[in-house]
Amino acid sequence: MPRFGDELVRVLQGLGAKPQDVDALRLQGNQVGGVAASVAGWLGPGGTPSFNCTPYEVFAQPGSPVVKRKHIGNQSIPDGVETNLVFDTAETDTFDAADIVVPDANYKVWTVRFGGVYLVNARARFATNATGARGLYVTDDQAGTTVLRATHAPVPSLQGTAIGITGIFHWPKGATFWVIAQQLSGGALNIDSCFLEVAFLSRFK
C-alpha cells in the first residue's frame, strides 16, 4: 500500500511544487499515526490504514469536479410520454472518461464515477404552445419513481415554457440518473434547448 506522504508529494509535484517545498510534508505524511486527527476515518482499529480511496483521489479529483452539458436544437417530446433528454454537447470542456459523471452512448443516461454528494441542475425550454402542462424530472430509479420534479401549468401563450430544477443527491459509485421531459399539449412538442450541470460536493467517508 502506498504511503500517504509519498502519494501526497507525488500529486503536489505533478502540480509544479519543488522538492524542497514538500519534503517536510512527505516526512509528516508517512508518519501515519501522527496525522490520524487530520485523516479521521482513514485509520481502522490499531491505526491500520483503511482507505476508502487512495490519497491521490483525495487530493486530486480526477477529471472535472463540475460538468456542464447541453443540447441546442429540437428534441421532439410526444404528448403524454416521459422522454429522456439528450445532452450531447460539452458546454465548457470536452467529454472526459475521468469526469465525475459519464454518459451512455446516446447521452441520455449518466453514470456516477465516485460515491458521494452531488448537486444537479437541469433546465429545458419547451416550444410555444398554450395547451396543457409541462414537466421536467430528474430520476435515478429504474422503476420510474421521480426524485426531483418541476411542473408548469398553465403555460404562457406568447412564449416558450422554461423549467429549471435543482437538487442534492447522495449517490453510490456506479449509480445512474437521467433527465425526463413530459408535456400535455395534445400533440408532439419540441424542446429547443436543455442544459445539465452536475457538481461534485463531497465524497462519502
> Which one of 2.60.120.40, 3.10.580.10, 1.10.8.50, 3.40.50.300 gives the CATH number of domain 66-203?
2.60.120.40
Confidence band for 191, pLDDT divided at 50, 70 and 90: very high
Checking DSSP bridges between strand 66-77 and strand 189-203, what pairing results, if any? Answer: antiparallel
144 CB-near residues (< 8 Å, 6+ apart): 82
> 122 vs 18, 27, 88, 139, CA distance in Å?
42, 45, 14, 11
- Quote the CA–CA distance of 50 and 202 in Å, as a whole number: 19
For the beta carbon of residue 99, count every other beta carbon within 10 angstroms: 23
Give residue limits of the domains in the chain.
4-59, 66-203
Tens of pLDDT along 59-107? 444 456 778 899 989 999 999 999 999 999 987 666 776 788 889 999 9
Whole-number Å distance between alpha carbons of 163 and 201 = 24
Report pLDDT for 205. Answer: 61
Confidence of residue 5 (pLDDT cuts 50, 70, 90): low
pTM, two decimal places: 0.67
Largest CA distance in the chain: 70
36 has a pLDDT exceeding 50: no
Contact 151, 133 (CB under 8 A): yes
Q: Residue type for 171, please?
A: W
Which residues lie closer than 8 Å to 24 by C-beta, 6 or more apart? none
The model's confidence at residue 20, banded by pLDDT at 50, 70 and 90, is low
